[in-house]
Each structure stands twice: as C-alpha cells, then as structure tokens.
Amino acid sequence: MSVVDDATTFGRARLTFANEAEIDEFVTTLERYEKGEITPNQWRSYRLVRGTYGQRQAEDAQMLRVKVPQGLLTAGQLEALADVGERYSRGFGHITTRQNIQFHFVKLHDVEPAMRRLAEDGLTTREACGNSVRNITACPYAGVAGDEVFNVTPYAEAMTRFLLRHPLSSTLPRKFKIAFEGCPVDHIATPINDLGFRAVSAPGGGRGFRVTVGGGTAILVRTGTPLHEFLPASEIFRVAEAVLRVFHRLGDYEHKQRNRSKFMIRELGWTRFREEYDRELSRSRLTGRVPTLESHPAATEAKPDGPAGAAPEVGDIAARVASQAVKGPGIMPIVTPLLQIAGDRYATWRDTNARPQKQFGFMTAIATVPLGDFTSAQMRVLADLSRAYSDGSVRVTMDQDLVFRWVTAGNLRPLYRRLAAAGLGLAGAETIADVVSCPGAESCRLAVTQSRGLGRLLEDHLRARPDLVAAADGARIKISGCPNGCGQHHIATIGFQGSVRRLGSKAVPQYFVMIGGGAAAKEATFARLAAKIPARRVTEAVDRLIALYAREHHADESASDFFARVNVSQMKAELADLERFTQEDSVPADFIDLGEVSPFNPLVMEGECSA
C-alpha cells in the first residue's frame, strides 16, 4: 500500500514496489536508442519489460501499463493514477482483467515523468509487459470473504516481491501469469494461469495450496494441470522458481505464437516435464538456493484501526466529475452524475453490488466501472470515499470493477449516494450487464475489431432491458478483439471474439459467438463456437440466447451451467439465420465497426506482447 504508514493507511502500509534507479536507467536507454546505439528490437524488448507498449497508431502513442499487485490500490495510489491520466494520457485510465491499470496515447517522452509520479506512491510498471512474470493477481475478496479457506493476499504479495526483478522474471521465452484464490468460487480464474494457487487446509490445520500449471487461453486453450494437491504454504517460492527454471531452460524462444508454458508442457509431455520440475525442486530444497516462506499471517484481515476521513458532499462530487476534461481518440467514458435517487435504485444496487463480510457489521461494495474506464476526477473521488467509508483502499476485480471493503452497514447508503454522484453507481455488478472488454482495435496492434464499441452497445442494450438481465441469471459476457483473449472470452458464458468477413470487396466486422465457458474450483471449461455473425447483429444474438435459456433450462440450473451443458448444435440452430449475410441484407452501417465512423479496414500488425 502506501510507502509510508500513517493515519490514512489504517496501519496497513506495505513497502513500495517502485525503484527510482530503474527509471533513471529507462531515460539513459531511451537516449541510447535515439542516438542509434541500440537497435529498435533491443529498445522494444527493453521498454516492454518496463511496461511501455507501442500502440497501432503511427504517431507517438504508447500504452503504459501499471502493475497493481493483488489488485490493491490505496487512496494515495488512486491519486497518483489520476495525475498520470490527467497529465500524460486522455484524462482517464482503463482497468484490465489482470488487475492492472493502463493509460493509452502516452507520448514516449512522457513515460519517464509518469513513472516517477507513480513511484512516489509505490507503483511500478516493471514487468507489466514483455516476456516476464506479469502482475500476480489475487481474489479481491481475500481476507473478508465468509467462505474463504484463509486470506491469500499476504502470500500473493510475498510472491510478487520474490519474483519482481528476479533474474529469471524478464528473461523468459514468453509471458508468465500467476494467480491466487482462497474462496470456493474462483474470482480470479486460477486455471487459466501458468501457475494457479488455490488455498487448502491440511487435516491438521496447516495452510497450503493446490497448485496447477500450464493453463492458458488464446490459440491453445488449456486448463491448468494439478502439480500439487497440497503444497505447504512455506514452499511456494521454491515451486514457482522450479517451474520458471524449467520454462527458462526448455521453453521455445523462437516461435512467438507457441511459446507459453502450456506449449512447452505439451511438447515435453507431462512425464518429462514433471521429471524436469522435480529435479529443479529437489535441487532447490537440497541447496537452500530458494528460501522457504517463513511467515504466518492472520487467516483474515484485521479491522482497520485508523480514523476515517471526511466524506465529500454529493453536490461537490458531481461538480468535480462533471468538470473533468477527457479527450480522444477512441471511445471515452460517459460520466453521468446522479443526484436524485429513487428508493428502488438503492435497493437494486444493494442486491447486486453489496455483500456481507465475514467480519460482523461490515460489507463489501462494488463500484461498477463500465468498460473498465474511469476518469481522473473519478479516481480522486474514489480515493476520498475509500478514506471515508473503507480502509483507505479499493480492490481491482477481474471484471474491471472496484471493490470497497470494510464499509459499515450504516455507511452503505451514503457510499452509494456518492458513487452515484460520481457516475459510478450502476447496479448489476457480476451480471450479464457488467460487460468485460479488452481495449481492442482502438489501440492494440493485434486486434481485429473495436471490442469496446461492442461492449458499450451491449451494456446500453442490457441496462435498458432489466428483464433480460434478470432472466440471464448470472450469465457473463466477455469480449476480445482477437483470438488472444485479453477480454477472457474463452471463459465467458457468452463470449465474443473479433473477426472479419468479406462481402465482395468490402470488409465486415464480425464476431465469433462462443458459448459455455467458465472457471470453476478445479478446472476451466472453454466456450464453444456457436456462430459467426456481423457485429451489428450481436444484440439480437444475445436476446435469443437469453430466451433459449429462459425456455429450456432445468429447475435451479444457472445460465452458466445451462450453456455449458446444452448441445452446441442447438445453439447453432438458434443463431443460424444471423450468420447469413448477403449484399441484399446489408445496410451501410454494417461496414463500419462499432464505435467508429469510417469504413471498416482491419489491419493486424505485429504484436508487441510477443516481442
């Protein structure tokens, strides 16, 4: 959390993740690149490991990715992010499905001052991109969930500190992802990570983890294979380093489209991989090369003990967010402050966005962030609200929302009123209306379609139809602009993958409709292809799929269970006529991607994420 523990951190400070010396090195290396002393490929590999990713735009446009370990942001860090968004980006930032914050259209020479502002509050971009150990994610309800085994946050943070700037962490064949979960419901999708840690208890009460390895999505979907059914918590560093050593030594450095750990395990075969892993783990144990984790944190979070801050007035919040200037290019957040709250609005929000903590008298509350975009003014308001009603922090979720914890039951309504005034009071968190989307072709070099345009269309459509949201019973929609799946469409109840079809000489934006994915306690199930339909017909496809579930599900069968069970041929039949698309069927808008004004002209560039 904060670099310095003071009253505003409620005694929960943690040391910085930043390193000023490496920012100095970034400046020096940029100067060397501009003088021609290093090649463009050397510069690209260097800056990617420092979280700086070239966008598809020909002009000077970078994406700066900020790591948020375990999704935990303090009020001070929210204010630092707000400054970066306002000074160096478009006046807003974007929450990712891996608990990062991204800023787009940052000029290359603004990266250094942005990094320095982030470092003031303990944030880093180190190993946020590139062939590295990426941000280590964790359940946003860890420490307060009533059904968790134990609080996984301290273990995930310890792993972050062990691997951040580790000699292996940025010299891998490809990116490597790690996640921690302590609840029976998987809120962080551990099975699709290279390493997944699920909290378990030994019969004698000792803490440990069920460990899976080799999960992933994109062009080869794989659920993680069990590596340990029970690993003592003290051994997590050794297991992680042993897997990384095998990957570093035997992974494929040449073929960038098939060099994640899952490909290596497939090529080696499980028996050979296990032999190599066991050899590395035994060596680590015998030599003491890797330490054990000698820490015994509390199984739950302690009640915050600092003084609460003063809550800003509703009118003041509305004025602040309304005055925030945002700029393009691209889709920008629409901020609508809500000052007059009808009685049923709060009740609906409470039902979908609030849940009791295990600690009596306290609640968690979700601030729904459409498309994961929030303005700098909203970030500062969230910082104020976290000091007044929470523990001086928020948690980022895999669904691109934010969680307040430690809200007293009596403060739930005042918090809601202020979130609504900030334009962040939408109900429907974790429902089909809470659409997840990657940045798409607005900025990403690999994307085919403008996934955020589809995300906005679907959110608007579903929020205007609460009957559909209620009928969908927990279904989730996730969108990616390409097969790589940054929007996690492979594990969605209803997923959409951006694509293109040709009609004569014209290009038409279309989406693969993927049905029946999810991440369960033991493994992931992956969505199956049901149709390929033009982008502007997607809302009709969603309506039909919800109607199919409403007609044919079994008693007490959730939408996710139904779509995982139902035969794909039945879903294909439901959508078949939407696939048929001729010149006679078309209208001019069909040839313009959602969220754009010019004719669709897909351009897939070399992806920097595999550099």
In order of 10, 154, 305, the CA distances from 391 in angstroms are 6, 17, 9
Contact predicate 9/2, CB 8 Å: yes
> What per-residue confidence (pLDDT) applies to 352?
97
Find, among 104, 132, 136, 103, the residue nearest to 17 by Cα.
136
> What per-residue confidence (pLDDT) applies to 521?
79
User: Can you give the residue ranges of every domain in the chain?
Assistant: 7-120, 145-287, 314-421, 436-610
What is the pLDDT averaged over residues 353-363? 97
pLDDT of residue 360 exceeding 70:
yes
Give the CATH fold of the 436-610 domain: Sulfite Reductase Hemoprotein; domain 1 (3.30.413)
> What per-residue confidence (pLDDT) applies to 152?
98
DSSP string for residues in 100-147:
-EEEEEE-GGGHHHHHHHHHHTT-B-TTSSSSSB-PPEE-TTTTT-TT
Q: Pull the structure tokens for residue 25.
A: 């090195």
> CA torsion 22→27→31→33, rounded to 10°?
50
| Structure confidence by residue, pLDDT tens digits, 296-328 | 899 899 999 888 999 999 999 999 999 999 998
| Structure confidence by residue, pLDDT tens digits, 399-455 | 999 999 999 999 999 999 999 999 999 999 999 999 999 999 999 988 999 999 999
Give the CATH fold of the 314-421 domain: Sulfite Reductase Hemoprotein; domain 2 (3.90.480)
Q: Which residues of 471-503 are buried (b: 16+ CB within 10 A; e: fewer)?
A: bbbebbbbbbbbbbbbbbbbbbbbbbbbbbeee
Find, among 175, 20, 172, 141, the residue nearest to 72 by Cα.
141
pLDDT of residue 507 exceeding 50:
yes
Q: How far apart are CA 236 and CA 197, in angstroms?
A: 9
> What per-residue confidence (pLDDT) applies to 201?
96
| Structure confidence by residue, pLDDT tens digits, 213-237 | 999 999 899 999 999 999 999 999 9
CATH number assigned to the domain covering 145-287 = 3.30.413.10
Phi, psi (5° rounding) for residue 402?
-130, 140
| Structure confidence by residue, pLDDT tens digits, 548-565 | 999 999 999 999 999 999
> Does 3.40.640.10 match the CATH number of domain 7-120?
no
Integer-rounded Cα radius of gyration of the chain: 23
pLDDT of residue 73 exceeding 70:
yes
Q: How far apart are CA 156 and CA 153, in angstroms?
A: 5
Q: Is it true that 145-287 and 436-610 share their CATH fold?
A: yes
Q: What percent of the chain has pLDDT over 90?
A: 90
> What per-residue confidence (pLDDT) applies to 611?
40
